Each structure stands twice: as C-alpha cells, then as structure tokens.
Amino acid sequence: MSTDPPSTLPFASIDDLQEALRRQAYLADRPLATAIYLALSLNKPLLLEGEAGVGKTEVAKALASSLDRDLIRLQCYEGIDASQALYEWNYSRQLIAIRAMQGGEAEEHVDDLFGPQFLVERPLLAALRAGPKAVLLVDELDRADDEFEAFLLEVLSEFSVTIPELGRIAAEWPPAVIVTSNRTRELHDALKRRCLYHWIDHPGLEREIEIIGVRAPEVAESLARQVAGAVARLRQLDVAKRPGVAESIDWANALSFLGVEHLDGQAAGATLGTVLKDHDDIELARASLGQVVGSGG
C-alpha cells in the first residue's frame, strides 16, 4: 500500500472541516470534528458509538459530500457474512456462459467462468477498489456477530482481500472509513484499537435548536425551541427508545406543516407518532403531556 496520499485533504484545519460539514447541513461540535479530522489525516477508521438517532450515519453522508466522494454503505445485520459484504459470483451469467460453450457459441469470448466479468462487487470490495474516491460506512456493526467483526478487522487492518480465483486485491490508498455502533453489544477491543473512537450523545438544548434550524429552515425558531425542549423532556421519561435528533426534526416539520405556532398538549398529543415509535412510549407520553410540553421550552 502506498504511504503517501494521492492528494491533500481539502480541510486546512478543524474549523474548515466544521464549516464544510455545516454546508452539508451537519453541525459537528468541536470534539467530533477533531475526531473526523484526525481520522482523515492519520488514515484511521473512525468508530462512532451512541444511541440510535444521534446522527452517526449522517456523519458519513455529510463527509462524503464534503469530500466529493462516493458513499459506499455496508448495512450490518444479524447473520451477515463475508460473501454478502465482499463479493459474490454472478451465477446466472455463468450459467448462460456455460450453455453458450456447450452449444459451441461464442466460446472464444468466455475466458474464465470465475473471471472479473462474473464478479459482483459488494460494499467492501467496491470500497477497496474505489480507494480515496470513497467513504466507506460500516453501519451498525453491533448488529453483526463476532465472526463478521473479526473478518472486518482483518480487512481494515490490511485494506486488502484475497479472492481465491483472482488473487489479492488491495487498495493502493484506502478509503475513509466510518464505523457506527448503537452499542446493543460491546465491540471487541481489537477492532477498537484499530480505530479512532468518538461517542456521540444527544445534543444539548441550544445545539438541538440550531440543528433543527439548519435541517428544517422553514420551521419558526420559536417552534423549534419548543420542540427541542419537549424532546429533551421526553428523553427524561422512562421510554424504551429515546427520540433522536431525526425525530426532533420530523416533529418540528410535522407541526409546522399543520400550521402549529405554539406547542401545546393538544398539538403534541396528536403528533406524538412522529417523535415516538413505540406504543407504550406514546401512552407514557400522553399521560405526561403537561410535563412534556412544559412552558414551551
């Protein structure tokens, strides 16, 4: 692997990175921007942990847009294995080629049933081949099992894979890598040591108001403040799933669309399904509407 990057990063400083992300409607605080800047500069994967909805996935999307790179996303899930993440063979095309050879047609055009023309790239292989033109997002790694995590560690350590039929494929210069986890299980220390680490928490009130303003500019500032305050109080209830920033934005948009200028109990009760996605959580919030709405933030 080359030891020198193909080009200089477009960010001269952490402030430049923050501003670039802001232009993509993502407000990164200083610690997060520092972690991203270091990960890019030191060519290290960045592991982002935090509850669902705090904006971990959006980091990768905003970063890819800021760098003008392709975003390649590997969504992890229970049971995912190496072939689903790396590559598979196009069996249908191989069968057609076999039939053509058996019929004596176009045999000279089929060099190898396991050649590159029959290879279907999955996200990891696509990212290795794209190299510095891509941001690889490994999303919700905690959903995958230990075996897949070990496989991913091997790939991230070498930024190369070996395909038996084709040989070793290595990135001349690796892509930027963002790994996210909702921490439904603890990731292994070996993978954490390979990455830089940052925990993203729910934003404070003023930051959340600012985020709503950037992501939903048509929402009045007064309503954004009321929504952010109500969501902060919802998070303090004994809910199964605390609402994230995405739900705050959805709630503000829904209320604004309905022409709500002041968040009261009636408006909140009618629209709780935009911010809470669990029946028991909604019933708990309905029983606490006075506490949730408060004085409007």
Tens-place pLDDT, residues 177-212:
999 999 999 999 999 999 999 999 999 999 999 999
**Where are the strands (E) in 153-246, listed by range?**
160-163, 167-170, 176-181, 196-199
pTM: 0.85
- pLDDT tens per residue across span 126-183: 999 899 999 999 999 999 999 999 999 989 988 988 776 677 778 888 999 999 999 9
Q: What CATH topology corresponds to 14-82+123-199?
A: Rossmann fold (3.40.50)
Q: Which amino acid type is present at position 88?
A: E
Q: How many helices (H) and strands (E) does the chain have?
A: 14, 9
Q: From CA 253, how far away is CA 255, in angstroms rounded?
A: 6
Residue closest to 241 by CA, chosen among 231, 250, 251:
231
- pLDDT tens per residue across span 251-271: 999 999 999 999 999 999 999
Gyration radius of the chain over CA positions: 23
- pLDDT tens per residue across span 100-129: 666 555 455 545 665 566 677 899 999 998
Tokens standing for residue 27: 């407000």
Tokens standing for residue 77: 């899930």
